Every structure is written in structure tokens, then in C-alpha cells.
Amino acid sequence: MRRRIVGLGVLAAVVAITLFGVPLGFIAAQSLLGDERSEVERTADAAAVSVAADLTRGEPAADLVGNSGDIAVGLYGLDGARLGGSGPARADVVVRQATGGSVAGADDVGGQLVVAVPVTDGDQVTGIVRAASDYTAVRWRIIGAWALMLGLGVLAVAATWLLARRQAHRLVGPLEALADTAQRLGEGDFSVRTTASRIPEIDAAGGALNTTARRLGELVDRERAFSADASHQLRTPLTGLRLGLETALELPAETHRAAMTAAIESADRLERTVDDLLALARDTRSAGVPLPVPELVADWTAAWRPVLAARDRALRVDVGPGLPVSRASQAAVRQVVDVLLDNAVEHGSGTVTLSVRDAGGAVALDVADEGPGPDDPEEIFRRRGDGAAGHGIGLALARSLAEAEGGRLRLTRPRPPMFSLLLPGRPDGC
């Protein structure tokens, strides 16, 4: 592309200089020829004036004026014979043309510029004065003018070449950087950004590419987070379903119906979890719908009490009276509390307590157990990789969901641990 820009710039300069220079060169040549012709004609006129009186009296002509330098002056009679001065012995075609009483001239007669001026006495032509200038000298002056114009044209083309190279570098450099950024973006590097080139059109394309990279990065991050969150949130329902089915295999056949019913309920909860995750990923919420606290508490009790019972642990539920009305997302709250209960099951010990209370106009959901609690209260809320030991992505997900609903998730008591989810509410129930 650099070569094309430079080539087009130089070609445009050559065409412009040619279109301008050729007519100018022709005009310069004609101007020099005209100046020389005028000088020769003035010399011939002066000579004709100086010999007019002598020819009228029939006397020999005096010395011809101008018969010196690069202009040769000769006097011819009407019979074509040279009477004086320098020139051909017999009249040439230019001199014969002047016998008619008018000035005659030719630009190239034997390599000379020739002008013939008639000498008159009234209306009668008494002789012809021939002035001739060496055409070679004029030609060299024309060639010199053309050489100067050619040199200036070459300098103009060279300057155009330098400017075209500079402009090509200024244009192609940002375009190459833009292409490299686009290639890296296509290879999956969504952190790439273009730099400003101070060329509005290229900067506009770079800004659009930066926006695309940012949006693609956010989209991929969201998809990765959804995959990690989904795998984390679906693990517990799947584990409960599997445990229920494995337990049913060890029971008598007459109890299988109850086991299948429990399995269907677990599958329903699993489906509801998937729906919640999809709703949260797509940000589709039921705005303005009051949070059904009793219904949620019943779901949590039915889902987690068997899981804890399988580990010889208990779930205690305490719902306080006169709760404020919260309009937080049901899906988000369900997933946050599921994370807290799962954390109590996996990392806690003893009885797990789920409490719902009025916290000064806010709805507080507390999940506590009798375990030792975390070593670093702030580290547990930091999202880590899939292979990290200890607390994984669950609590980080729970805090982000709580904050998205305008609430807060905190470790209100480190030992034994108690997590509190605070949701904004309306005490008047409106």
C-alpha cells in the first residue's frame, strides 16, 4: 500500500507538471523567438533608415547600422544583387518577398532568423535591407529555459516523492496497527485497544473496533461466569437427586414410589435453578413483584433439610413477624441463599440456622452454622479459579447478585460463622 500511495502521488505530480510545463515551455520558446525577431527587425529598420537617403540620390550606401555582433545586415537591390553589408550574394526567398513593399521574415533560413525590410521613397521600393541572427544562439537560449523548467519539474517531483512517502507512512502505519489489532481480536485477545492516530477516519474505525473488543470481552466474560456459576449452583441439586435415588435402591420396593416422588421434586428444583440462572444471565426480572418469603423458606427447607439429614445434621428455620416488603428478584435471592446454605453444608458443622427478620426496614436473611468459620473473612468473597481449594466462586457470585439487587451480603459473625443478606424493603408493605 505504501508503494501505491507513493506511486500515485508521483504520477499525479508528473501529470500535473507535464500538463503545465509543456504549454509553458512552448510559450517560453515563442517568447524568446519573438524577442529575437523583434531585435532583428529593429536592427533592419535602423539600417533601412540610414541608407534610404543614399539610395534615393543614387549614391553608394554608407556603412550599414547593426552590421556587428550576432546580427548581420546586408543591402540588396531590386535585381537581387547584394549592394553592401553581409549576407548571401544573391537575394534569398525572404528578400524577394520584401520587394513587394512589406516586411518579410523566416525563423529558420540556413540556421538563421532572417527579417527583410524594404527601403522606400514614398511608395517606391528602392532597396531591401536584410538582417539575420544566428538561430543557434536563440536555440540555446530556448534549450536553457527548457532545462531550467525541467530541473524545477524534477525538484517538484522529488519533493512530491518525499511528501508522498511521509504521508504514506502516516496513513499506512495506523492502518497496519488497526489490522494487527483486528487480527489479535480475531484470535481471542479481547484486551487489545487501538492507539489514536489523529486521523479522524482511522480513529473512528479504531474506536468502533475498541467498542467491539470491549463488548465481546464482556460477553465472553459473562458466558464464562455463567458457565462457572451454573456448574456451581447445579452441583448441589444434582447431588441431592443422586443421593435420593441411591438411597431408594436400598429400600424395599414398596417405598420406591415415595423415592420417585422425591426425585421428581428434586428434578423440579433443579429445573427451577436452571430457570433462575438463565433469568439472571439474561437480566430478565419481574420488576415490582413482592418477594414471596414464606414460599422461598418452604423451598429451602424442603431442598436442604434432606441434604443435612444425610450428614446427621439439622436445619432450623426461624421467620420473624412483620417483615418489610422487598421487591428484590426472587431468582437472585434464591440463588444467594442456596449458596450460603451450600457453604454451611460443605464448610460448616453442626446445626444450620436459617433466619428471616426485620432489620430496620430491610429484610435480613441470616444463615449460620456451628463451624469454626473462615480464616480470612474478605478472601472468601473473592472469585477464584475452578481448581482453587476452599471457598470457590459461590460466595463471590452471591455477593454480586446481592449488590445487583441493591442489597448487601456480609459475614456478620466470623466464629461461629453467620452470613447476612440484607435486602431493601418497605415497612408499610406498599
Q: What is the DSSP string of 240-257?
A: HHHHHHHHHHTS-GGGHH
- CA dist 150 and 21 (Å) reads 8
What is the CATH number for 33? Answer: 3.30.450.20
Q: Report, as an integer, the average pLDDT of 189-211.
A: 81
Mean pLDDT computed over 6-13: 84
Please tell me what DSSP assigns to residue 120.
Answer: E
Residue 203 has pLDDT above 60, yes or no: yes
Judgement on whether residues 241 and 318 belong to the same structural domain of the protein: no
pLDDT bracket for residue 30 (50, 70, 90): confident
Residue 183 lies in a domain: no
Q: At what angle do helices 135-186 and 200-249 cross, to 10 degrees?
A: 20
User: Does residue 112 belong to any structural domain of this protein?
Assistant: yes
Mean pLDDT comparison of 132-136, 259-263, 419-423, highest-scoring range: 419-423
Amino acid at 98: A
Determine the pLDDT at residue 274: 67
Quote the number of domains for the chain: 3
Please tell me the total number of residues recorded for the chain in this structure: 430
- Shared domain for 292 and 399, answered yes or no, is yes
Average pLDDT of span 56-77: 72
- Whether 159 is covered by a domain: the verdict is no
Residue identified by cell 444434582 is: 238
pLDDT for the residue numbered 134: 79
CA-CA distance, 127 to 385, in Å (whole number)? Answer: 118
pLDDT tens-digit series, residues 81-117: 888 888 888 988 888 888 888 889 887 787 788 899 9
Please give the distance of CA 78 from its chain centroid, rounded to a whole number.
Answer: 85
Of these ranges, 208-217, 230-239, 285-294, 408-417, the one predicted with the greatest mean pLDDT is 408-417
| Res 319: pLDDT | 92
Across 391-402, average pLDDT? 71
How far apart are the C-alpha atoms of 404 and 331, rounded to whole Å?
A: 12
Residue 196 sits in which domain range?
A: 190-278
CA distances from 20 to 128, 147, 157, 320 (A): 42, 15, 13, 96
**71 vs 64, 68, 82, CA distance in Å?**
11, 6, 17
Do 263 and 305 have their domain in common? no
pLDDT value, residue 419: 94
Residue 223 in grid coordinates:
458466558
Peptide bond into 416 cis (omega under 30): yes
The more confident residue out of 389 and 321 is 321
Q: What amino acid is encoded at 251 in this protein?
A: L
| Pair (303, 341) in one structural domain | yes
**Which one has a higher pLDDT value, 206 or 103?**
103
Same domain, 339 and 392: yes
Report residue 120's pLDDT band, with 50, 70 and 90 as the boundaries. Answer: confident
